[in-house]
Structure 1
Amino acid sequence: MTMLTVDLDAEADLARCGALKDFWYVACLSTELPANKPVARTVFGTGLVLFRGPDGAPTALRDRCLHRNARLSQGDVFDGRLGCPYHGWVYDVSGAVVEIPALGPPQRGEKLDAHACTHEGLKPAPCDVGRLARFPTREQDGLVYVYLGKDVTQARAEPFRVPYWGERGWTVYFMVTRFANGVTNLVENFMDVPHTSFVHRGWFRNPTRKRVPSTVKRHAGRVRMTYHQEEDALTGLGRLFNPRGLPLVHTDEFIVPNVTRVDYQWGDSGFAINSQCTPIGPTDTWVYTAISYRLPVDVPGAWVGRALTPLVRWYTRQVIQQDVRIMETQRQGLTDGPGGGMYSSTEADLHHADIEAYRRWLREGAHGPGPEDAERDVVFWV
């Protein structure tokens, strides 16, 4: 048994998270960012305001007016510009102040000259005020990403592509969930089979006391778990995707620093659950989950997949809420006095140890080559 430590506080602190910030993080769904309304988000403890500029592209600025520090996310968007709710200062997509209503049509002080303004610590005109911090954004696959690192040209990876997005025969929808826990604990939960027999009993998997041989591969910033069990007894909607009883191909994968992908495949049908975690604080995280599914080809028409979406949405929401509750239960234990974040692990947790090794390496600055590649066989029971 090995004792492992996870520092959730440092992982979610922009000043202490090391290279964890050098990746793109989901800020919101594209549909959550309309043309006429700003959206507030907190990433790595930093308040951001997102809005769409004149061309419809998303912009992310520091959510704090330069005037009296009011939250700009409580303001208005007009003509692709953002207005402060307190005194109406207007910002463009570069973060520059372009209008100060209190200065009237001249848009500069009328009585005090530049020398007097400097003496009193005042600014003569909007162009002298300065700019808000601006963060690079990217929009793809129905998601808006933001980058908080120092140099976007040095980003360690491109934004993650949603599995099967836009592919014929596949239905894709999103679930957005706020979890009361940190990113490391969440990604471990999302690719953890043993907990499903307890947390999701009757909904996804029941205890069967079956031996599950598996292979854990750690390579190039990824941890892939392959399960050598073709007859995994999934309950619930799992039966809908495999009416012919075909062998199951089940893999779980972690992609640094915050992404998981879980695939269940039966022949030409199956589903993929892709979750991207955005840290708000040490034990507060937004999770953007893309559910991609395809029914067997002998089901008549893609419309059937779309028609089933409300049922699949309802089912997956019930399962995710079970994870929300158990993650809250874990958080309560983590924060109940000293010692939280020290974990005891066994062979069944090898892939979790690999995840923690990658995230610890990134948090400490990603110096050197990082965790070495490895491939090992393990066994656990469910």
Structure 2
Amino acid sequence: MKFEDFWYVVALSKQLKSNQVLSRQVLGEWLAIFRTKNGKPVALQDRCTHRNSRLSCGKVQQGYLQCPYHGWVYDESGGVVSIPSEGENFKPRASLKAKQYHTCEQDGFIYVCLTEEIKPQFSPFSMPYYQQPGWHYVRVVHRFNNNVTNCAENFIDIPHTVSVHPGIFRKSYQQKLEMTVTRTQGTVIANYHNEDTNLGWWTRFLNPSHHKIYHSDRFFMPNITSVEYQFAPRRHLFITSQSVPETETSTLVYTDATFSYGIWSYLATPFVSYTAKRIIGQDVKILQIQQEVIEKYGEKFAHTQADTIHVFVESIRKAIAQGKDPRTLPDKTIEVTFWV
């Protein structure tokens, strides 16, 4: 198993117009993304086979991609279908082909899989309640100067919230929390117990009647995190992030805040949008600081009980990096107590 075997978001569906080509990078690979005449998304290696120009700097005409340097034209399979300098004498050659990658479109995202296999063994992650009746969502995109592992750990980490997001999403009350953390089949699940309404400026809106809170954080291999809160029958929230590895130190993160607040959902949308951008912006800064220290002193972490969820995430991503299947790791459950 390799990181290339999984699906990664390369664009929002609405970003890719029929006459447009997008430049993207996943796992260090340059990609040119465009649509065929029928609207199907295509991903080619961003390299013209002729003189190594970037195809993403070209143009799309009737579903074909034309190189900006000498005008060579590529179809959806990466094959060259026209060479202007050869005119009517042009004949297709198997040797003239740009590398093509698997693509699909789902939940308003365009995905690419870099696997060498004829058919990917996995499917893209299904976003919770995407466009389902009664549910609303806010979608934001941020670039982090850090790797996928550190981003994913940040998104499902409670202790940092009182320091990085004080007043917005928790205050330091030294509240005792308990969590059950399980690693199984390439996923990590953390269920929290006895959590109260210490949720910063969200408190009065999210849980005005002080219902019992259900809170669960999840990691799905190799790059998905999903935070779920349920405060009452009509107060339900998911924060789901897909961390896309552009390079070893650059991660593009697509985040959906999906919520169902009953009759208040429409009014809540701008509030959710503002808060999500504020919180993620703070995380961008703290992860930039972390990366600066890692570059100077190396990546060596100390762990406490509260970091159990991170240790499990790291074990899964380390297994994939070593070419192993993390689903073969032994199932493990740990009970943890910590304070925030």
Q: TM-score, normalised by structure 2?
A: 0.96
Number of the residue aligned with 1:6: none
Instruction: Give me the whole-angstrom Cα distance separating, in 2, the residues matched to 1:213 and 1:336.
Output: 35
SS of the residue aligned with 2:315? helix
Number of the residue aligned with 1:355: 313
Instruction: Give me the whole-angstrom Cα distance separating, in 1, the residues matched to 2:71 and 2:95.
Output: 14
Number of the residue aligned with 2:200: 235
Number of the residue aligned with 2:72: 89
Number of the residue aligned with 2:177: 212
Which of 138, 143, 148 aligns to 1:183? It is 148
Give the number of the structure whose alpha-carbon radius of gyration is greater. Answer: 1
SS of the residue aligned with 1:167? coil
CA contact (8 A) 1:61 1:134 kept: yes
Instruction: Give me the whole-angstrom Cα distance separating, in 2, the residues matched to 1:179 and 1:325.
Output: 8
- The code of the aligned residue for 1:20 comes to F
- The code of the aligned residue for 1:204 comes to F
Number of the residue aligned with 1:276: 242
Q: Which runs of 5 or more residues in structure 2 are unaligned?
A: none
SS of the residue aligned with 1:342? coil
Choose between structure 1 and 2 for higher RCO, CA contacts under 8 A separated by at least 6 residues: 1
Number of the residue aligned with 2:287: 327
Which of 219, 230, 247 aligns to 1:254? It is 219
Percent of counterpart pairs with the same letter?
A: 40
**Alignment root-mean-square deviation, CA:** 1.5
**Inter-CA distance 368–222: structure 2 relative to 1 (3 Å threshold):** closer
1:265-289, CA deviations, whole angstroms, 9 ceiling, x for partnerless residues? 1122121000011101111011111
**Inter-CA distance 223–369: structure 2 relative to 1 (3 Å threshold):** closer
- The code of the aligned residue for 2:67 comes to C
Number of the residue aligned with 1:336: 296
240-249 vs 282-291, which moves further: 240-249
1:91-130 → structure 2 map (5 Å cutoff): 91-104=74-87, 106-108=88-90, 125-127=91-93, 129-130=95-96
Q: Confirm whether residue 146 of structure 1 aligns to residue 129 of structure 2.
A: no
Cα offset for 1:189? 0.3
Q: Confirm whether residue 61 of structure 1 aligns to residue 41 of structure 2.
A: no
Instruction: Give me the whole-angstrom Cα distance separating, in 2, the residues matched to 1:258 and 1:368.
Output: 13
CA contact (8 A) 1:212 1:228 kept: yes
Which of 271, 274, 281 aligns to 1:314? It is 274
Cα offset for 1:67? 1.3
Instruction: Give me the whole-angstrom Cα distance separating, in 1, the residues matched to 2:57 and 2:267.
Output: 37
- The code of the aligned residue for 1:282 comes to E
Cα offset for 1:19? 1.6
**Inter-CA distance 184–307: structure 2 relative to 1 (3 Å threshold):** same
Cα offset for 1:128? 5.6
Cα offset for 1:229? 2.0
Number of the residue aligned with 1:41: 24
Cα offset for 1:308? 3.3
Number of the residue aligned with 1:11: none
- The code of the aligned residue for 2:51 comes to R
1:8-19 → structure 2 map (5 Å cutoff): 19=2
Instruction: Give me the whole-angstrom Cα distance separating, in 2, the residues matched to 1:315 and 1:101.
Output: 52
SS of the residue aligned with 1:247? coil
- The code of the aligned residue for 1:102 comes to S
SS of the residue aligned with 1:240? helix
1:12-59, CA deviations, whole angstroms, 9 ceiling, x for partnerless residues? xxxxxx622211111111111111111111111000010001110100
CA contact (8 A) 2:237 2:259 kept: yes
1:286-301 → structure 2 map (5 Å cutoff): 286-295=252-261, 297=262, 299=263
Instruction: Give me the whole-angstrom Cα distance separating, in 2, the residues matched to 1:266 and 1:70.
Output: 54
**Inter-CA distance 128–285: structure 2 relative to 1 (3 Å threshold):** same
Instruction: Give me the whole-angstrom Cα distance separating, in 2, the residues matched to 1:262 and 1:316.
Output: 13
Instruction: Give me the whole-angstrom Cα distance separating, in 1, the residues matched to 2:259 and 2:36.
Output: 34
Cα offset for 1:102? 2.1
Cα offset for 1:103? 2.2
Instruction: Give me the whole-angstrom Cα distance separating, in 1, the residues matched to 2:231 and 2:130.
Output: 19
Which of 150, 159, 166 aligns to 2:124? It is 159
- The code of the aligned residue for 1:322 comes to Q
**Inter-CA distance 101–154: structure 2 relative to 1 (3 Å threshold):** closer
Cα offset for 1:310? 2.5
Cα offset for 1:61? 0.3
Instruction: Give me the whole-angstrom Cα distance separating, in 2, the residues matched to 1:43 and 1:176.
Output: 15
- The code of the aligned residue for 1:231 comes to D
- The code of the aligned residue for 1:271 comes to L
Instruction: Give me the whole-angstrom Cα distance separating, in 2, the residues matched to 1:132 and 1:161.
Output: 30
Q: Confirm whether residue 136 of structure 1 aligns to residue 96 of structure 2.
A: no
Instruction: Give me the whole-angstrom Cα distance separating, in 2, the residues matched to 1:267 and 1:152.
Output: 46
Number of the residue aligned with 2:336: 378
Number of the residue aligned with 2:190: 225
Q: TM-score, normalised by structure 1?
A: 0.85
Instruction: Give me the whole-angstrom Cα distance separating, in 1, the residues matched to 2:290 and 2:326.
Output: 33
Cα offset for 1:129? 4.9
